Amino acid sequence: MTDEIVFEKIRGIHNVLREEFYSSGHRTCEGCEPAMVMRMFSKAAGPRTIALGTTGCMYVANTAYMTTPWVIPWMHAQLGAGGSSALGTSAGLRALMKKGKIPKEKINTIAFCGDLGGADMGLAAISSALQTDYDLLIILYDNESAANTDIQATGMTTWGAQTTFTPTGSVKRIMQNRWKKNVAPMLAAGHPNVKYIATAIASYPPLDLLNKVRKALSVGGPTFIHTLAPCPKGWDYHPRYSDKLGELAARTGIFPVYEIENGVARLTYKPPTPRVPVREYLEMQGRFAHFKDEDFQYVQSHVDAMWEDWELPGIVPIKDGRIKS
């Protein structure tokens, strides 16, 4: 066993580990992109990894009674406990190594949480974990709903989307009238000792998520990655389009892809000029089937403002000293 694991940058598909650490045996829906996030982070991290899964689709669908797809050690944590389970595990490993009860070596601690468990209910626990100096990575897989309890809206749901909490109707067409929470910059701005925070999409750009996981694990310290993860059931599209929707989220600019390393923010993917109209992304999803022209224009105007007005395009919502949305 080695003391250190060297995480080299993955430059092509041939560099990706052939071994699977999130294997067959799960019961996620066909085309589930959160499942792809699980597969990719475990491939990037390798076998010396402990995965901590909070309640959500990636707990419920992955660990039906007496089955599991996890080949690495795995533990279920309470819905809002992504931060605290990661912190406790990392602190426990450090104590055991310090006391000589287990060999000193690099063991990756990775907690994953959904948007309800991470960005809403579990935000306080993540904040606490990000204020420490423990080696841990928290991965938010954001499918913009509480999917395992039947697609309820969360603080991360796109404006206007239909969910079981926000159905469209003849009196009120738009029930989900909150703009999506901007969680990664919020965590970066409030936790100056965090060395690495990033956003990513499993399908696009290729290899980006794998390398961001590797970078986070190499940096050590508390780190955080927010992934946008299309969900065929909740977003209402054919499962074959999960990768395409991920690509369109990046190319339309509705989900900016970037990293913040030691306080320096950098876009890791620049959308084309001009950006792909956001309507192309929204029209592929049944949850926006009730949209009229004015609704598409409303979302487009917000996306345009993100890229044209914000102090750091797509990242920091400040213009002329005022917070924008």
Q: How many residues bind ligand SF4 (CB under 6 A)?
A: 13
Give the helix ranges, DSSP H, for the chain.
33-45, 57-60, 82-98, 123-130, 183-190, 208-219, 232-235, 242-252, 278-283, 293-308
DSSP 312: B
Least distance to Mg ion from the beta carbon of 115, Å?
Answer: 4
Least distance to ligand SF4 from the beta carbon of 27, Å?
Answer: 8
Q: Residue type at 248?
A: L
Task: Give the x/- contact pattern for Mg ion in 76-115, rule: CB under 5 A.
Answer: --------------------------------------xx
State the Cα–Cα distance between residues 35 and 22, nearest whole angstrom. Answer: 9
Around Cβ 95, how many Cβ atoms within 10 Å? Answer: 11
Half-sphere exposure of 156 (CA within 13 A, CB side): 27
**Which residues, other chains included, contact 103 with Cβ-Cβ below 8 Å and sequence gap of 6+?**
1, 97
Q: Is 143 in the site for Mg ion (CB under 5 A)?
A: yes
Half-sphere exposure of 167 (CA within 13 A, CB side): 4
Residue 60, SS3? helix
Interface residue with ligand SF4, options 61, 201, 248, 316 (CB under 6 A) = 61
Quick one: what does residue 166 bind among ligand SF4, Mg ion, none, with the CB cut-off 5 to 8 Å set by partner type? none
Q: Closest CB to Mg ion among 142 and 247?
A: 142
Residues 199-258 that bind ligand SF4 (CB under 6 A): 231-234
Quick one: what does residue 317 bind among ligand SF4, Mg ion, none, with the CB cut-off 5 to 8 Å set by partner type? none
Q: Closest CB to Mg ion among 114 and 232?
A: 114
Residues 32-51 that bind ligand SF4 (CB under 6 A): 32, 34
Least distance to ligand SF4 from the beta carbon of 161, Å?
Answer: 14
Residue 147, SS3? helix
Around Cβ 289, how many Cβ atoms within 10 Å? Answer: 11
Name the residues that contact Mg ion, by CB under 5 A.
114-115, 143, 147
Name the residues that contact ligand SF4, by CB under 6 A.
28-29, 32, 34, 57, 61, 143, 147-148, 231-234
